[in-house]
Amino acid sequence: MELIVTEKDNAARRIAEILSGDSASTDRQNGVNVYRWGGTRCVGLSGHVVGVDFPPEYTDWRDVQPVELVDADVVKTPTKENIVRTLKQLAADASTVTIATDYDREGELIGKEAYELVREETDAPIDRVRFSSITENEVREAFSNPDELDFDLAAAGEARQVIDLLWGAALTRFLSLSAKQLGEDFISVGRVQSPTLKLIVDREREIQAFDPEDYWELFAELQKDDVGFEAQYFYEDEDGNEAERVWNEADATEAFEQLRGARDAIVESVRRRSRTDEPPNPFNTTQYISAAGSLGMSAQKAMSVAEELYTAGYITYPRTDNTVYPDDLDPEELLSAFTQHYLFGEDAESLLTAEAIEPTAGDEETTDHPPIHPTGEIPSKEDLSEDEWEIFELVVRHFFATVAEPAEWEHLKVVADANGCLLKANGKRLVEPGYHEVYPYRSTAENHLPDVAEGELLGIDDARIEAKQTQPPRRRGQSRLIEELESRGLGTKSTRHHTIEKLYDRGYIEGDPPRPTKLAMAVVEAAEKFADRIVDEEMTAQLEADMKAIADGEKGYEAVTDESREILEAIFQELHDSREEIGEHLRTSMKADRTLGPCPECGESLLIRRSRRGSYFVGCDGFPDCRYTLPLPNNGEPTVIDETCEEHGLKQVKMLAGRSTYVHGCPQCKADEADEAEDEIIGACPECGDEHGGELAIKTLRNGSRLVGCTRYPECEYSLPLPRRGEIEVTDESCDEHGLPHLLVTDGEDDDDPWELGCPICNYAEYRERQTATEIEDLDGVGAKTAEKLAAAGIESLDDLRNADVASVAAEVQGISEDRLREWQAQANAGAVAE
């Protein structure tokens, strides 16, 4: 029996379809899909099914000093036991084994892990196949020319695993124990994560230290034949360059008075020039992430979607540094694959009419994977989620752009003299659209100026002066940050987006572009003061270079990991005498991140706290002497924002709840409003009205929520939710079924389109029906089409998803992988916790 091992289940299914000619059947073994045809079996792993960790005796954080981890052994243990068991059972009966994991450092390591598991069961020959896209031609070609595992490349991946474990675990434990932050709120440190965080913190420091300078700019409107166009005042600076900013207010005022006194302006010069706008270079990973970011997609999301499209066979491997198409790529043949498509056909046909098709090329040429491009296999739009189709179209159109003609712009610069003041106006016009015709992701905005000639007299109007200030440097967006990491040699194309996502997950950064929290500032400050090598990018970049040397066979795995242990031991020597000081520094900063302001009863600080049950509330730092508390909403995670309540001096709170994120405001105001509000009776309680006389009333709770609830609470807990915002008006119209008045929700006195809530009981029943139908679509990356596919597989609600067997669903639903389903399960479970 021949055994084929792939990196993931959807890759296994795809390869089985190709090699079997769509005749493969699916068996379930230990809950794992096994694809079979003839004498061949194909099984997909789930990425790493074996993980590195310390032996069990190092597990207890309190009993093991963090420094002891530096020299601790590292062991491998199964992380997906059912997959490991299935692989070994299949290997025991195999006469040949083929490793078909992804072709990169990580994929090679996963292949080596499979190799070692197989070797425990058999000494059968083991081959390795490599491909850059899971298409019929490339897969068949790869299996016709098998190779051997690259153990040096795998060793580089393994060295990264071990070094990251040592650094992450040892330093994370040290800082967390020092700050007394254990459990879910531990303080995370990482070999690449910490220098990346320092980059973000350093930029924030630049912004905070920035001292703005005042300057002034002057403008006027020039006119020809009733056509007006804006021109800007300029002068020659000391270096003979054109300058628009006037740095002295007196000079600016003088120039403005002079400009305002002009009756007309005479054209001094008219200059035209053409500019060639070159098409983009082929996509490498970093540039792809940047382009996806312009569509509003996070780096992590962009890579996740690209991997789905790759394993489905629609695009090439998305982790690549290459910006030069390989010689065996035939652009005409690939374009021809799109000529019959309703969306891409016209553009593909147009590109094929060129006399010669010469793709662009970047500076980086590697031999592992080509730049990211479509494979020529085209899905229907219905087979993909909205995000997947958006990225597929981006990749297709980017390929189109790389084989398109350059665009040509005509630029026009007009300089005029108005009462001794020089004014300039710049126009541009797209003369030849070139690649812009097939690539709508770059601006083609034009600025038209009327046709004027030197010596011509123009009208002048609307002279104005604008006072401005210089602006601080901008925060780097995710894609710009990844470009910066690449330029500094931090991380790899496969890990950079994960690093940024981890910083979000650990609460070190927030927003987009990311900005550091006070905890992040504190961690970086502590590292800089007591052990700066933790955040030293040069040392981290050197380790990256060492791992590349392992892959190239120039250094050994043991030498690099031993060197890393030595560096880590030296860091602990620096940290040893500063543990208490570091802990105090971190605790102070972490408290500042959660501080709202003074307690009205004792003057201590009010902090966001978490109860043993996991819910959030505002409590006094003087506890247990002061037990003053305020409630917070029960949906979402609270974060303190800069806006401060004028009445109570407390910072406001925002509730992070995905798409439902909202500003809660001042907790004291919300509590006071609820205390002052009177319940408004609207009818009998349907559960206890007949027997106990319970009535339904509109209630405002101290945590800001509103509801219709029974007046006999807590004896009767019957309640119905109401919108958090807007004025609720009780109308004269009543429900025939429940006898309750209809409700309206208005935004204010002038709201011409109020929300007709109707009967609160009927409304809630309708809401539950809608919620069941749409809650799946609220998950990140699930559109209507994907929701339909999931519904066909029996997943119609979040509860269905939480309880689903992802392997079974992935096998049934085409185009949705186990990894993607696990992501959605995690989102659904997070929502359940928030609720």
| 409 neighbors 370 (Cβ within 8 angstroms) | no
Burial track 704-730 (b if 16+ CB lie within 10 A, e otherwise): bbbebbbbbeeebebbbebeeebebee
Give 646-684 as a DSSP string: TTT-PEEEEEE-GGG-EEEE-HHHHHHHHHHPPPEEEEE
From CA 643, how far away is CA 637, in angstroms rounded? 18
| Structure tokens, 749 | 């006195």
Handedness of CA 393, 395, 398, 403 (dihedral sign): negative
Q: Round to whole Å and give the CA distance between 796 and 802.
A: 11
- Provide the terminal-to-terminal Cα distance of the chain, rounded to the nearest Å: 51
CA 25 – CA 13 distance, rounded (Å) = 10
| Cα(558)–Cα(158) distance, integer angstroms | 11
Instruction: Tell me whether strands 680-684 and 421-432 are parallel, antiparallel or unpaired.
Output: unpaired
Give dist(CA 831, CA 835) in Å, integer: 6
Across 373-412, b (16+ Cβ under 10 Å) vs e yields: bbbbebbeeebbbebbbbbbbbbbbbbbbbbbbebebeeb
Closest CA to 143 of 319, 259, 16, 307: 16
* Cβ-based burial of 225 (10 A; exposed 0-12, middle 13-18, buried ≥19): exposed
Find residue 405's DSSP bridge partners: none
Q: Which helix (H) or strand (E) holds 418?
A: strand 407-418
Residue/partner pairs of 715-724 with CB below 8 Å, 24 or more apart = 715/688, 716/685, 716/687, 716/688, 716/692, 718/685, 718/686, 718/687, 718/688, 718/694, 720/696, 720/760, 720/761, 720/763, 720/764, 721/764, 721/767, 722/698, 722/757, 722/760, 723/755, 723/757, 724/662
CA-closest candidate to residue 481, choices 467, 505, 499, 459: 499
From 263, 268, 267, select the one nearest 459 (Cα to Cα): 263
CA distance 700 to 679: 8
Residue 406 to residue 279: CA distance in whole angstroms: 6
Q: Would you call 48 helix, strand, or coil by DSSP? A: coil
Distance CA 732, CA 480 (A): 57
Which residue type occupies 70? V
CA 318 vs CA 108, 260, 368, 388, 455: distances in Å: 16, 58, 12, 13, 57
> What's the CA gap between 587 and 581, in Å, rounded?
10
Give the pair of three-digit tokens for residue 187.
Answer: 């303080």
Among 516, 447, 446, which residue's Cα sits nearest to residue 481?
Answer: 516
Phi, psi (rounded to 5 degrees) for 35: -95, 135
From the list 317, 435, 439, 508, the catalytic residue is: 317
505 closest CA partner among 536, 660, 497: 497
**Under a CB-based contact definition with an 8 Å cutoff, are residues 434 and 404 in contact?**
yes
Q: Decide if 244 contacts 255 (C-beta within 8 A).
A: no
Give yes or no: 317 in active site. Answer: yes
CA distances from 166 to 31, 43, 51, 67, 579 (A): 33, 32, 13, 10, 19
Residue identified by tokens 């983009």 is: 280
Q: What whole-number distance in Å separates Cα of residue 559 and Cα of residue 159? A: 10
Catalytic residues: 317
